[in-house]
Amino acid sequence: MQVSRNNQLGLNKNKMSLYTFKQSISPLNVIRGSKAWSQGISLIPSICKKPILIGRSKSTNNIRKNIDNDLRNLGLNVVLAELHYDCCEIDLDRLKKIVILNKCDGVIAAGGGKVLDSGKLIANRLDLPCITIPTSAATCAGWTALSNIYSPEGAFIKDEVLNSCPELFIFDHDFARQAPPRTLASGIADALAKWYEASIASRGSDDGMIQQAVQMARVLRDQLFICGQKGFSDPSSAEWVTVAEGCALTAGLIGGIGGIRCRTAVAHAVHNGLTQLKPSKRFMHGELVGFGILVQLKLQEMIEDNHLAKQSISQLIPLLRDLQIPLSLDDLSLNELTLRELKEACSFACNEKSDIHYLPFSVNSEILFHALVETRQSVKSTDIYNLKKNSKLQSFL
């Protein structure tokens, strides 16, 4: 769905001016639920006859084989291709040539966030319809009109806004349930960031749609707090459905409705900076973003003397710990890096095009570095507080 309306964005991200722009809110068609693939596949022949099917991970090989067989049984001429990198220009150029050489008329991306981002980018650059089939709930990449581009080494380079959301989005619960639990934990952390980032990046906006999107993000946060642990531990539960669809669908819808002010701020800027460091490569997108939420809240506490931010850190840490999300530089194995390396990551996170500048206060690399380090102390303080509280409770009992 696309709409044109007044949006509040100016050259200065903290001062707004009105102008009209195009907004890509959602995929044209959305099929969700158990057996969603078997229902959604009937729409594909009307979209394309000779698609390229893109994937990557060995763990999703069987799913892609089944998708390929089902498409061929419908009479489609499928061209198979695999990524070698994380949504990298080397892969994008190679696959673009395959599409042109084989005269493909559509792109189907089946996999995790970077596969989905790659499929959307290739389709966008060649003006072809795109179909996204997430094989986990780790991100909302299957929904959005946005792709992140990385270096061959996995370092974030930039994001690219696309002309539209996918033509068809199929979120099959049976596919996503096969993914490792870690992917859902990563998705929860990424989706939680919608509230923490949107609520501060949109501060002062009187745009009704932005305000509505922020409230959606708040409801999503509440549902993730209520259902997150159960959904993470029990894929057969109703809570899993709420959480998985919140991560893969609702998080994308919030960004679509609210636009750039409801997508990213500090948490994702921290992710982008940390990907410049070698040890971060073993962590998933949402795991780095989850740590980034704590860093953002620490900045709010430090700069604004925001007591609610301090309370939010205490509220978040138990859930993130249950989900095995890294909470400090130690958890990220970054404590052994040199001061120079960490400061270079902070400099990247604070570059002039960074979303960190959507904050209502100024942040530079030195301040961010201080917050990165101080997050460790917040974790320790929360642990000490919870230990004392539990000791008092045991004494009372």
CA 231 – CA 226 distance, rounded (Å): 9
Q: What is the pLDDT of residue 264?
A: 84
The pLDDT value given to residue 148 = 97
Contact in structure between 88 and 149 (CB atoms under 8 Å): yes
If pLDDT is split at 50, 70 and 90, which confidence band does 204 have?
A: confident
Residue 10: pLDDT band (50, 70, 90) is: very low
pLDDT tens digits, 350-390 = 999 999 998 999 999 999 999 999 998 878 766 554 544 45
Query: The pTM is what?
Result: 0.91
Helix ranges (H only) for 45-112 are: 61-73, 89-102
Residue reference for tokens 């998705």: 187
Tokens of 346: 């902070």
User: Percent of the chain scored above 90 by pLDDT?
Assistant: 80
Residue 178 corresponds to which amino acid? Q
Q: What is the SS3 assignment for 106?
A: strand
User: pLDDT, tens digit, for every residue of 253-296?
Assistant: 999 999 887 778 999 999 999 999 998 889 999 999 999 999 99
pLDDT at 18 over 80: no
> How would residue 397 be classed by pLDDT, with cut points 50, 70 and 90?
very low
Summarize pLDDT for 60-82 with one digit per residue, the tens. 999 999 999 999 999 999 999 99
Element (H, E) at 194: helix 181-201
DSSP 20: E
Question: Which residues, 6+ apart, have CB-to-CB distance to 340 below 8 Å?
Answer: none
Report whether 386 contacts 321 (CB < 8 A): no
Nearest to 223 by CA among 183, 202, 194, 182: 194
- Neighbouring C-beta atoms of residue 226, cutoff 10 Å: 13
- DSSP lists the bridge partners of residue 20 as 6
Which tokens is 248 given?
């893969």
Q: Is the pLDDT of residue 9 over 80?
A: no
Q: Please report the pLDDT score of residue 396 as a whole number.
A: 39
Nearest C-alpha neighbor of 41 from the set 134, 113, 137, 133: 133
The tens digit of pLDDT for each residue in 291-346 reads: 999 999 999 999 999 899 999 999 999 999 999 999 999 999 887 788 899 999 99
